[in-house]
Each structure stands twice: as structure tokens, then as C-alpha cells.
Amino acid sequence: MNLKKLGNTEVLVPEIGLGTWSYEGGVEPLRAGIKLGASLIDTAEGYYTEDIVGEAILPFRDEVIIATKVSGRNLAHDSVLRSCEASLEKLGVDCIDLYQIHWPNPVYPIDETMRALEKLVDRGCVSYVGVSNFSVRQMREAQHCFPNYPIVSNQVLYNLRSRSIERELLPYCLDNDVTVMAYTPLDAGRLCRRGDWVLSRIAAETGKTEAQVALNWCVCHENVIVIPKADSVAKTVENCGASGWRLSPEQLRMLEEWF
């Protein structure tokens, strides 16, 4: 499994992680992924999967990077603190490796939210802070209100059919050492159900599956990692096989021109 730096830290994370939105697979697919090196597991208080993630990581806690999120409905100062406490309990851990704001919410002043997050880092409840679904403007504002620590990641929609972040957000994150965590990197499975001839051709050329080609396209970007969800061990193994190799420049060009 190829590794990349998390933001501007020295922490190395796998370029293929494990997503758990709408996850129904139980502990075995997650444990299979961990054994294959997909040691970053992403969850959220709003996914209601923190408990199953906590169960899955019990034999592997020292090997796993846990990423979870505070809901955009709970961004008041004290609500952030309470949400973190509840997540720690459900996950069964003393510290959350990466704690993210699930989505921006203008109802709550961002400086209030970031002060709570700073407090959690200071207390040792959280190692690193990230955001999700933030624009460049929102990232700049959040970082301004969080001067003592870096925002290390932004989790956003990114796949071959959803590429709007390439205009502004992806270059900003690259220039500012922010890891992009791509969710729904297979377009909820639709990418591999359409039978696109380009995906099929490149899968045949590389000896990989269409899903592996689509995931590899994402992680070919320097600061991008992906967190696909897989409810079965077989699909988890397939997703992990998207790492350890690279599409050629010509194959990348074909994909980007077709989609």
C-alpha cells in the first residue's frame, strides 16, 4: 500500500482508506482492509458507524488511523466538546487521530467552532483537525481562526465524473499542504456499471478492474487519498488493489478527456 503524508505532518496515511457511510458490512471487511494496509478508517457521528469501527479496530488499535467527524448541526463550542466525548466513547479510544467538521454551517460562528477544536487538541483528545465539504474561502477562514495548529485535510466529493474541485480547491490544497480525502470515489458504484469503453480498455491494458483504475486515477494526484466504502471482504480486497501501481500518462489523459 502506498503511503502519503497527512497534510504538513510527518504522519503517513494509506492512499486507499476505508469509508463507512451507509456501511453494513460488519467488522470483517474493515479488518481485512487493515491487514492489507488500508489503515485509515473514516466515520462520523452522523453515520452511526462509530461503534462498529470501534469493535473492528480492537485488535489493531496501534496500527489504525481513526478519522471521524462532528456533525454540522453540532458546531457550537460546547456541542463540539460533547460530540467529541461521545465519539471517543463509541470508538473506544482515548484520542481521535483526525477530527473533522462534517460540513460548514453559517449558523455557528467559525471562530467558536475552531476554539473548541483547539481545546480538544490541547487536551490530547484529538491529534489533528480536518474539515469536509469546505470551499477555499471557508478553509481560509477556518485556518485564520485556528492559528496554533494546521488544518491537515479536506474531505470532498471527487471522482472521474465529479471534478469541480480541480478548478480551485485541489490546487489550493496542494499549495497549502492539505490532504484531499476523496469520498464517493467510485460515484457510488455508478462508474463501473456504465460500461464505459475507456475504463474497460484501460482495465484490460493494466490487468486491473475498472474500479481499481478509477481509484488509481484519483490517487495519481499528489495530495489525494480515497476512502471507498465496501460491505464485503472481496470488494475491500479489490479496492486495496488500486494501490501499489500507477496509470501511465497516456491512460490518465484518455480518462480525463473521456469523462
**In CATH, what number is assigned to the domain containing residue 180?**
3.20.20.100
3-state SS, residue 85: helix
**Total structural domains in the chain?**
1
Closest C-alpha to 228, from 191, 174, 179: 191
Instruction: Determine, yes or no, domain membership for 258.
Output: no
| pLDDT at residue number 195 | 66
| pLDDT at residue number 194 | 66
Q: List, in order, residues 6 or more apart from 236 with CB less than 8 Å away.
A: 18, 29, 30, 32, 33, 36, 38, 230
State which residues of the chain have pLDDT below 70. Answer: 194-195
Instruction: Determine, yes or no, domain membership for 206.
Output: no
| pLDDT at residue number 115 | 98
Instruction: Determine, yes or no, domain membership for 41.
Output: yes
Residue 47: active-site member: yes
Closest C-alpha to 6, from 256, 145, 173, 148: 173
Q: List, in order, residues 6 or more apart from 252 with CB less than 8 Å away.
A: 217, 220
Instruction: Determine, yes or no, domain membership for 212.
Output: no
Q: Which domain holds residue 145?
A: 3-188+222-244
| pLDDT at residue number 193 | 74
Instruction: Determine, yes or no, domain membership for 195.
Output: no
Instruction: Determine, yes or no, domain membership for 254.
Output: no
Instruction: Determine, yes or no, domain membership for 201.
Output: no
Instruction: Determine, yes or no, domain membership for 251.
Output: no
- Catalytic, out of 23, 47, 99, 128: 47
